[in-house]
């Protein structure tokens, strides 16, 4: 198995629900290490830039509004198959379709406010990690 890095965000609803520790605990139990982390309140420009790939989608404006509605917790996770493993922990985009025991099934109510983000592939992971962190801010161990 390949050691990978992936970009994870606990979205404003997750921070508001006070489940940062709960989500981090799930990462750690799954063998994923938090190797960089920062809390920040995304600006409109940051949210639009981060989700640029969705700019033509009908939900884009609401997504940007939601992602700028409060602070988020952004982290780099590292571990074997980190990208797919994090997606498994998160569950499906729509919490109604997420497997029981996943973060979204347990904590999210709607498809838009769904608690967590996770990179969906190797190229995306690289781009998304670079979006938030400089190489010297990532502490592999
Ligand atoms: N989203 C939404 N409505 C939709 C689809 C997506 O509000 O019909 C939001 C939701 O917050 C989702 C994000 O846009 O997490 C990115 O969508 P994507 O399909 O990339 O899902 P993800 O990779 O987050 O599971």
Q: What is the pLDDT of residues 78-117, one digit of tens each?
A: 999 999 999 999 999 999 999 999 999 999 999 999 999 9
Q: Please, which pLDDT band fits residue 141 given cuts at 50, 70 and 90?
A: confident
Contact 15, 69 (CB under 8 A): no
Q: Is the CB of 117 under 6 A from ligand 1?
A: yes
Q: Say if residue 1's pLDDT is above 80.
A: no
Q: Is there an atom of ligand 1 within 6 Å of 93 CB?
A: yes
Asked if the model's pLDDT at residue 17 lies above 80, the reply is yes
pLDDT recorded at residue 9? 99
Name the residue at shortest CA distance from atom 10 of ligand 1.
112
Tallying the residues shown for the chain, one arrives at 141
CA angle 55, 64, 17 (to 5 degrees): 140
Has residue 131 got a pLDDT over 80?
yes
Binding residues for ATP: 11, 59, 87, 93, 104, 114
**Residue appearing with tokens 């992936």:** 6
Within the chain, strands assigned E span 3-10, 33-40, 72-80, 116-118
What gap in Å lies between CA 8 and CA 118, rounded to an integer? 5
């Amino acid at each position: 198995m390949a050691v990978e890095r992936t970009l994870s965000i606990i979205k404003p609803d997750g921070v508001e629900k006070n489940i940062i520790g709960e989500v981090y605990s799930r990462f750690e139990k799954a063998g994923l290490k938090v190797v960089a982390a920062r809390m920040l309140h995304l600006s409109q420009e940051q949210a639009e830039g981060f989700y640029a790939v969705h700019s033509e989608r009908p939900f884009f404006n609401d997504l940007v509004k939601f992602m700028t509605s409060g602070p988020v917790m952004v982290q780099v996770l590292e571990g074997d198959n980190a990208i797919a493993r994090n997606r498994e922990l998160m569950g499906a985009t729509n919490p109604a379709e997420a497997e029981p025991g996943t973060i979204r099934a347990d904590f999210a109510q709607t498809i838009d406010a769904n608690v967590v983000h996770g990179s969906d592939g190797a190229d995306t992971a690289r781009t998304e990690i670079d979006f938030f962190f400089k190489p010297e801010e990532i502490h592999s161990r």
